[in-house]
Amino acid sequence: MGPGPRLWLLFLLHLLAQAARRSFVVDRERREFLLDGVPFRYVSGSLHYSRVPSQLWSDRLHKMRMSGLNAVQVYVPWNYHEPQPGVYNFQGNRDLVAFLKAASSEDLLVILRPGPYICAEWEMGGLPSWLLRKPDIVLRTSDPDFLAAVDSWFHVLLPMVQPWLYHNGGNIISLQVENEYGSYFACDYTYLRHLAGLFRALLGDEIFLFTTDGPEGLRCGTLQGLYCTVDFGPADNMTKIFAKQRKYEPNGPLVNSEFYTGWLDYWGGNHSTKDVKSVTRALQDILELGANVNMYMFHGGTNFGYWNGADWKKVYLPVTTSYDYDAPISEAGDPTPKLFAIRNVISKFQELPLGPLPLPSPKMKFGPVTLKLDGDLLNFLHVLCPDEPTHIHLPLTFEAVKQDYGFLLYRTRLPQNLTKPTQLWVQNSSVHDRAYVMLDGVFQGIMERGKEAALFLTGQAGSTLDVLLENMGRISFGFNQSDFKGLLQPLVLGQVALTDWQLFPLNIDALMDSENRVFETKKCDVKFPSGPAFYSATFRVPGPAWDTFLYLPGWTKGQVWINGFNLGRYWTKRGPQQSLYVPGPLLLPTGAPNSIKLLELEHAPPGTQIQFLDRPLLNFTIH
C-alpha cells in the first residue's frame, strides 16, 4: 500500500474514532451544550426511584419519554442505601443500577444528584441519621467526622455509577455537587472543593459537574470549575434570575435545574397546587430563550415508611406521606391535564416520540374491611424490644440509643402521689416530635413539638409513666442545626425533673411481616383502648391486583403496613391527606389473602373499618 492510501486510511480511522467518541460539554462561544459535538438542549423531569416501587419504574419512565422529555433528573438518598455505617443496600427498590438501565431502555439521559445532601423533602435531606451519634458533628462542612463518612460513602457509590457515565457508554450526562448549598449557613468553600476533588478523583476529569441554587444562594453555592445553574418556579422573575446566573456563567447555556410544576404538602396545611396555565406559560418562556430545563417534579411518588422529611419555617412542618406534588404525572402514575398541556408546549420546540401517551392505570374500589383489635402497644413491648431496655438517669435521644426512625418508648415511675392535677411539661419545645403519654397503661394525652397544650396527671407514687416518642421526620430544609429526635431535655412533673428512665427502642417493622403470628398468639386484654394499639385484618381483592387508595374514616393518626410493607403515616384527623396510595404490586391477586396492620396512636373509630377507593383524597384539612 502506497503512502497515499495509507494516509487516507489513517484519516478515515481518525474520523471513525471521533464519531465514536461520546461527550457532553459546554460550547462557551455559542452558549449551549454539545452532545457528541452536536448542539443539544435537555428538557428533563425529576423522578425519585426511592418514592416509586421498582416494579413501576419502567411505567413512569416510559410516560416521561412519551411526554417529550429527553432526560430524567434523580437524587440518590445516602440514608436509603447506607442504613448503618458500612452496611450498604442496593437491592430491590434500592437498585440504582436497575433504575439507570430502565432509563436507558426508554432512551432517557440521566442527570444524577448524589448529594451528599439532597433536600428533596426526604428524611434529614438524605443524610444518614447515624451521623448524629457524634452529637457535635457539623453537617455539610469540612468537619473531619462528616468528611470521613462522605468519603467512605462516595468510594462505594461513585465507582458504581462510573460505567454509566455518558462518555463511558452510559446515560449519565452530568452530576450535581451538593444541593442548594448557598441556602445553608456554613458557606464552607473548603467543603465544596473537597467534594469536587473527590468526584473528579473517582470519576475522571471528563465528567460534567454542576451546582444548583436559588437566586439568593449563588454566592455560597457556586465554585469555580463547577457549572452554575439556578432554580425557580412559574411565579418568579425569569429574566432577573437568569441574569444572576449569567454573572457566574457569562458564556454557557442557561439552565433551570428545578422548575416547579407544583409543591409539597405539610400535615395540617392545605393541599398545594399550581395552575396549568402559569406552569405552561413559564415553561414556554424558558424554552423560547433556548434554556435547558428540568421540571421538579414530573412524577412525585410517595414517602413510604418513615422517609418523609420536614421543613423549618419558624415552626416544625413534617411533610405528608403523599408526594404527589401536583406533578404532571400523579402519585399513582397517571397522566394529568397538566401533563398534556406541558407535552403540547414541548412539541413546539422538539419532536415528540411517535405514539400516544399510555392511559391511566385501572384502579379498584372495595370494602369496607373491619379490623380487629390485637392489643395495646404496651402488651407487645417484650417483642417490640426483645433486648433489655437501656437504664439511664436522664432520657437520651433516639440517636444516642441508635434508633434511627419510628418510635422509642421512655418509661419511669411517678416519684410521689399526685392528688391534684399536676402539669407534665418540658422546656424549650424539647419533645421531638410527638409524645403519647400513658399512666399505668391508660392513655393520658399528647405532647407535641411546638405546641403548648397543657397535660395534667394524677396518680399514685410508683405508678408507671410511659411516654411513646414518635419521630415525624428529620428536618430536610430551613434549619441550620442537627435535628435530634426524642426527649431532648428531661420531662418535668410540676417542678420536679423526672429521672431513672428505661428506654425501649421499638423495632415495629420486624413484627409486620405477613407471616408473623405474634398478634394471633399473644393473649392480652382486648378491651376497646385509647392510645397506641395494633389492629389487623386479612382481605381479598375483588379481581386483578390494581392500584387503590386506602381510606381510614374516623381513625386518628398512625402507621400502616400491607403485606409487611410499610405504607407510611396517616393523619386523618389533621389532613390534608386522607387516603394512602396502595400500588398494585404490593397486593396479592384474586383469591389470595392480603394482610393489613395498623398502629393507631390515639383513637380508633367504633366500627374499626377501612375502605379502599379508586381515587385519592388529598385535599381535606381540619384546622
Catalytic sites, residue numbers: 180, 258
CA atoms within 13 A on the CB side of 586: 24
Gap between the Cα atoms of 445 and 375, Å rounded: 18
Handedness of CA 25, 31, 37, 39 (dihedral sign): positive
Query: 141 exposed, middle or buried (CB, 10 Å; 0-12, 13-18, 19+)?
Result: middle
Gap between the Cα atoms of 579 and 286, Å rounded: 36
Q: Quick one: the chain helix, strand, coil %, rounded to 5?
A: 25, 30, 45
The backbone region for 554, taken as left when phi is positive above 0, alpha when psi lies in -120 to 50, beta otherwise, is left
With b for 16 or more beta-carbon neighbours within 10 A and e for fewer, the 431-470 pattern comes to bbbbbbbbbeeebbbbbbbeeeeeeebebeeebebbbbbb
Cell (9 digits) for 86:
458500612
Helix, coil or strand: residue 399:
helix
CA 474 to chain centre: 11
The kind and range of the H/E element at 545 are none
Query: 324 exposed, middle or buried (CB, 10 Å; 0-12, 13-18, 19+)?
Result: buried
Q: Which amino acid is at 29?
A: E
Gap between the Cα atoms of 97 and 523, Å rounded: 46
Q: Do 594 and 539 touch, CB atoms closer than 8 A?
A: yes
518-526: long-range contacts at Cβ-Cβ below 8 A with a sequence spacing of 24 or more? 518/380, 518/383, 519/374, 519/375, 519/380, 519/597, 522/374, 522/375, 522/379, 522/380, 522/383, 524/374, 524/375, 524/376, 524/379, 525/375, 525/376, 525/379, 526/373, 526/374, 526/375
Q: Do 417 and 461 touch, CB atoms closer than 8 A?
A: yes
Query: Do the bridges between strand 565-570 and strand 558-562 make them parallel or antiparallel, or are there none, so unpaired?
Result: antiparallel
The set of residues, in sequence order, having a beta carbon less than 8 Å from that of 115 and lying 6+ positions away, is 75, 76, 77, 78, 125, 126, 127, 178, 179
The set of residues, in sequence order, having a beta carbon less than 8 Å from that of 172 and lying 6+ positions away, is 100, 109, 110, 111, 112, 161, 164, 165, 166
CA distances from 219 to 195, 211, 377, 450, 558 (A): 17, 12, 51, 33, 43
Gap between the Cα atoms of 98 and 104, Å rounded: 10
Gap between the Cα atoms of 573 and 584, Å rounded: 26
Gap between the Cα atoms of 285 and 544, Å rounded: 44
